Amino acid sequence: MPFPPSLSLFFCCASATFLILAEQALSYRDGNPAYFPAASDFKKVNFGQALGDRTVFRMNIIEAVSCHEVLGVPNIDTYFGTAPEGWNYLLKAMTLLPQWLLRDRDLMQALAVFSEPVVRLTDMLVGSANAMKVTATAKDGSTAVMTYAHKDLEECVGIATAAFAAAALRGDIKTGIWYPEEALRDEAARERLLAEATRGAFLWEQHVTPGLKNK
């Protein structure tokens, strides 16, 4: 029997997270790839007043590749985290499992299905949110910071997917297969997409050092 769409999305995200634990985290240093153990270098990142400081750790996330290849960014690090804090250390402990075990898609899917009731119960007790933060730093130290947060995973993924579909129908995205960074080269098209993709977010902030946009 097929799962409801919301459950299917949860299982997809959870199993993907487990599978990525089998991969080294790709970063870039002066344009050269650098690899780090998954779930290493724990640190705190501030996600705004609503969420405060949260623990994150290195994970192999595709934006490291796309930002380097499309935008030419020479230095990139990607991090991931969850809450409550205990989940982060549970994911860290999973990296001690044999690699062949972590790469078993069927097993990780089964683990995602098994963990769903526990995750849902935890969300009911402590609340849930999904947040992203991007910090770009220029050579002179000036920065551009974007922070996004939404209360519901399934809803925010659906809204973002619909925003890209609408952009394609408008002709803002040309026919083809693209990284998001290369699909929207036009600034006006990007602004339209962001306005639509951030609907329903309880946090959407952009802080840019004056003058950085023109550099």
pLDDT one-digit tens code per residue, 188-211: 999 999 999 999 999 999 999 887
Q: Which pLDDT score is estimated for 7?
A: 58
Q: Which pLDDT score is estimated for 93?
A: 95
In this predicted structure, the answer to whether residue 3 has a pLDDT above a threshold of 60 is no
Mean pLDDT of 92-116: 90
Q: Is the CB of residue 59 less than 8 Å from the CB of residue 94? A: no
Confidence of residue 90 (pLDDT cuts 50, 70, 90): very high
Map tokens 């939404």 to a residue. Answer: 150
Mean pLDDT across the chain, nearest whole number? 90
Helices (H), the chain: 5-20, 63-71, 85-94, 99-102, 105-126, 153-170, 180-183, 187-197
Mean pLDDT of 92-101: 94
Confidence of residue 2 (pLDDT cuts 50, 70, 90): low
Mean pLDDT of 174-188: 89
Mean pLDDT of 12-30: 91
Map tokens 């930002």 to a residue. Answer: 67
Which is more confident, 151 or 123? Answer: 151
Mean pLDDT of 47-51: 90
Q: Which residues pair with 32 in a beta bridge?
A: 29
How far is it, in rounded angstroms, from Cα 73 to Cα 33? Answer: 12
Confidence of residue 185 (pLDDT cuts 50, 70, 90): confident
Which is more confident, 40 or 14? Answer: 40
How far is it, in rounded angstroms, from Cα 25 to Cα 79? Answer: 9
Q: Which pLDDT score is estimated for 9?
A: 64
Q: Which pLDDT score is estimated for 115?
A: 84
- Output the six-digit token pair for 89: 């250390």
* Predicted structure pTM score: 0.88
In this predicted structure, the answer to whether residue 1 has a pLDDT above a threshold of 60 is no
Q: Which pLDDT score is estimated for 209?
A: 86
